[in-house]
Amino acid sequence: MVIGKVGFGSATSLGRACGTLGGAVTVEVRLPNILRPMAAGEPIVNAEGDSLREVFDDLVRQYPALRSSLLTPDGEMHRHLNVFVNDDDVRYLGKLDAKVGDADTVTLMPAVAGG
Amino acid sequence: MLLLARPLWDRVVAHCLDGLPLEACGLLAGREGKVLEVYPASNAARSARLYTVEPRDVLSADRAARAAGWDLIGVWHSHTHTLAYPSPTDVEQAPDPDWHYVLVSLSDVEPVVRSYRIIDRQVQEEPVYTEP
């Protein structure tokens, strides 16, 4: 995997606020235990993209078994998944339209709920 | 089998009592069935019938557990008016077959704590020990 550095690596918050700052960047994606078997057992993988949608697309390209855990058949974010860009819940950043920047960390966690 | 030492058991139950009249919830960290830390969480559903662990609390618990060299190994929540047995919603939404699902019933005078594994929607109770 090529680490695609761009010139605004430290300005990730600004990047999310302003949109795309350059070409696709590489982000670190942290996987919960439940998803690791679908990603060759890796706890942390890299993926490219300027938005969460592109990051998910790249994840699915690399690890097709992840698709049904990340996305609904309609291509929306799976409701049993919590996703954070650094400390920010993507539900408040536009979900799959959330912008990501170089050096960002995307963390996937299971939604934990019941009755 | 779940080992939930008495001080941690007490914190779980206290969090559930503090949450009344709503359901309360939290996450368990440890390894191989031994709970080494508990992380009380907010119930984002704010309901007496449902719970959703506040997503930020899941993130912070996961970070704290990883920093300590542990994993999240389960979740607990209270049933305020029913038995300590997983509801159909609990079974439907159980996120991880490797997790331990701890139920705390507050329907009687004394809280009742039970633990279950939920694999392929099959519920299996497991013993809970408070000391090795």
DSSP string, A45-108: EEEE-SBHHHHHHHHHHH-GGGHHHHB-TTSPBPTTEEEEETTEEGGGTTGGG-B--TT-EEEE
Strand pairing category for B51-52 and A88-89: unpaired
B71:A111 CB<8 A: no
pLDDT at A11 over 80: no
Residue of A80, A112, A115 lying closest to B75 (CB–CB):
A112
- Cβ contact (<8 Å) for B52 and A111? yes
A-chain CB neighbours of B52 within 8 Å are 111-113
Owner of token pair 């930020």: B56
Q: Which residues contact B57 (CB under 8 A, 6 or more apart)?
A: B27, B39, B41, B42
CB distance A111–B86 less than 8 Å? no
Report the pLDDT averaged over residues B48-52. 96
- Strands B51-52 vs B100-105: parallel, antiparallel or unpaired: unpaired
**Mean pLDDT throughout B25-53?**
97
Alpha helix (H) residue ranges in B1-132 = 6-19, 55-67, 88-93
Q: Which residues contact B11 (CB under 8 A, 6 or more apart)?
A: B38, B40
Alpha carbon of A15: minimum distance to chain B alpha carbons (Å): 22
Closest residue in A to B80 (Cα) is A115
Chain A residues near residue B48 by CB distance under 8 angstroms: none
Helix (H) or strand (E) holding B126: strand B122-126
The reply to whether A60 touches chain B by the CB within 8 Å rule is no
* CB-CB neighbors (< 8 A) of B25 in chain A: 112
Residues B14/B35, Cβ–Cβ less than 8 Å: no
Q: A15 versus A41: which is more confidently predicted? A: A41
Domains and CATH numbers, chain A: 19-110 (3.10.20.30)
The answer to whether B35 and B130 are in contact (CB under 8 A) is: no
- Residue B65's DSSP bridge partners are none
Specify the pLDDT at position A23. Answer: 64
Model pLDDT for residues A36-47, shown as the tens digit of each residue: 999 999 999 999
- A89 Cβ under 8 Å from any chain B Cβ: yes
Q: Does A79 touch chain B (CB under 8 A)?
A: no
Is pLDDT of A1 > 80?
Answer: no
Question: How far is B84 from chain A, CA to nearest CA, in Å?
Answer: 11
- Residues in chain B with CB shorter than 8 Å from the CB of A112 are 25, 27, 52-53, 58, 75, 95
Q: Which residues contact B25 (CB under 8 A, 6 or more apart)?
A: A112, B41, B43, B51, B52, B53, B75, B76, B77, B78
Return the pLDDT at A16. Answer: 43
Q: What is the pLDDT of residues A50-98, one digit of tens each?
A: 999 999 999 999 999 999 999 999 999 998 999 999 999 999 999 999 9
